[in-house]
């Protein structure tokens, strides 16, 4: 397998009761002679507030740097990991989150705020910048508000045990760098971290090699046909949250006769007419919209891996799919229902050079 570019990983873990993601970050840093910084990590969640479908969060995470001061990992919260946590447990002192309904405001707040400050003070630099006074709420809650409507942001204590979820994130890695993950996973097991009930592993491949209309067509044709086969093959977690299929209009779009001749910028604009979301089995949204620092193709169907060998096997298989999509030879469209029970054989035919599939 030849990895096209680099791959970043997100492995969802759960700390044992009484511990936290901070413990894993500090142990990884100690193993590399490095250091840990407390940082904010942005996340979104569905809202129960009428007229506000999504709430934006800044949650507490920990950035790990090695002895050369290079960032090598992040241990952050993941709001989809809920089943393992006891919400009635008393909040951990000095752990909080900042919540708002405008992603742009939250980006500004993240830059102006210091995650090392206590809850009562964390929004003070933002309030000073905006010329506002903070409002105190119940149970230590702090509101940043003006006279025009709902609060701009609220800093509040975490529900019980929200310090335990730990999404272990790596920077983009070359294939030669992937073995360094073994140290991280061994440390996690030594600290009794385990796979959460809703846990998953996400892979982020460089989007650049896929930025052409033919590559997108091939990718969509492959994953539309073989998505169910792949989920069965890798043992996708049925309790994993925020998975699902692409909208049907995506397949229709890439099958139009003129699609493969489109320059990439024109193809991108047409892809923007499709209601893409990151919360699906295979996230194309980051390819199309190219967010800063995350211009990637994300595969979200993998289970949690606590050891390196099966994780490398999964990366090999998914990289084979990406490489086939980049290949200029067209991938014919196929319906998953017609693939049916012969899906594994058909996948093998689609990826004849895959070492992973040859081992089955």
d(CA 196, CA 41): 20
pLDDT of the residue at 11 = 98
**Please, what is the angle between helix 343-350 and helix 213-234, to 10°?**
140
Q: Are residues 352 and 287 in the same domain?
A: yes
**Please, what is the angle between helix 21-31 and helix 181-190, to 10°?**
130
pLDDT of the residue at 296 = 96
Q: Comparing C-alpha atoms, which of 43, 47, 73 is closest to residue 56?
A: 43
Parent domain of 298:
201-358
Does 3 have pLDDT greater than 90?
Answer: no
Question: Structure tokens of 68?
Answer: 């050369």
- Determine the length of the chain: 360
Q: Are residues 232 and 329 in the same domain?
A: yes
Q: Are residues 124 and 251 in the same domain?
A: no
Q: Are residues 163 and 241 in the same domain?
A: no
Q: Are residues 174 and 29 in the same domain?
A: yes
Q: Are residues 180 and 218 in the same domain?
A: no
Across the chain, mean pLDDT equals 93
Top-confidence residue, 356 or 284? 284
Residue 33 Ramachandran class (φ > 0 left, ψ -120 to 50 alpha, else beta): left
The partner residues of 96 in beta bridges, in order of sequence, read: 157
pTM, rounded to two decimals: 0.94
Q: Are residues 206 and 347 in the same domain?
A: yes
Q: Are residues 111 and 240 in the same domain?
A: no
pLDDT, tens digit (0-9, with 9 covering 90-100), for 47-66: 666 666 678 999 999 999 99
The domain tally of the chain equals: 2
Q: Are residues 43 and 149 in the same domain?
A: yes
Q: Are residues 84 and 172 in the same domain?
A: yes
The reply to whether 164 falls in a domain is yes
């Amino acid at each position: 397998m030849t990895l096209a570019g680099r791959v970043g990983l997100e492995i969802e873990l759960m700390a044992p009761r009484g511990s936290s993601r901070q413990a894993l970050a500090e142990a990884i840093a100690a193993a590399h002679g490095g250091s840990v910084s407390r940082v904010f990590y942005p996340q979104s969640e569905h809202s129960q507030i009428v007229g506000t479908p999504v709430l934006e969060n800044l949650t507490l995470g920990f950035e790990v740097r090695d002895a050369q001061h290079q960032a090598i990992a992040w241990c952050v919260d993941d709001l989809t990991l809920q089943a393992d946590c006891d919400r009635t447990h008393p909040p951990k002192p000095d752990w909080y989150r900042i919540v708002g309904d405008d992603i742009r405001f939250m980006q500004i707040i993240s830059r102006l705020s210091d995650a090392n400050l206590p809850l009562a003070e964390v929004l003070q630099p933002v309030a000073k910048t905006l010329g506002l006074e903070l409002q105190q709420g119940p149970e230590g809650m702090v509101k940043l508000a003006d006279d025009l409507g709902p609060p701009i942001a609220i800093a509040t204590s975490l529900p019980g045990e929200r310090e335990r979820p730990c999404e272990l994130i790596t920077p983009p890695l070359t294939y030669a760098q992937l073995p360094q993950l073994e140290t991280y996973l061994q440390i996690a097991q030594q600290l009794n971290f385990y796979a959460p009930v809703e846990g998953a592993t996400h892979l982020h491949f460089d989007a650049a090699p896929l930025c052409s209309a033919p590559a997108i067509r091939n990718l969509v044709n492959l994953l539309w046909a073989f998505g169910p086969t792949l989920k069965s093959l890798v043992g996708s977690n049925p309790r994993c949250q925020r998975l699902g299929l692409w909208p049907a209009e995506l397949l229709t779009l890439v099958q139009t006769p003129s699609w493969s001749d489109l320059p990439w910028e024109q193809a991108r604009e047409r892809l923007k007419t499709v209601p893409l979301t990151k919360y699906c089995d295979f996230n194309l949204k980051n390819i199309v919209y190219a967010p800063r620092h995350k211009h990637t193709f994300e595969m979200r169907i993998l289970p949690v891996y606590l050891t390196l060998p099966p994780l490398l096997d999964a990366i090999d298989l998914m990289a084979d799919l990406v490489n086939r999509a980049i290949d200029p030879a067209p991938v014919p469209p196929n319906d998953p229902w017609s693939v049916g029970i012969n899906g594994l054989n058909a996948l093998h035919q689609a990826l004849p050079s895959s070492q992973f599939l040859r081992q089955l």
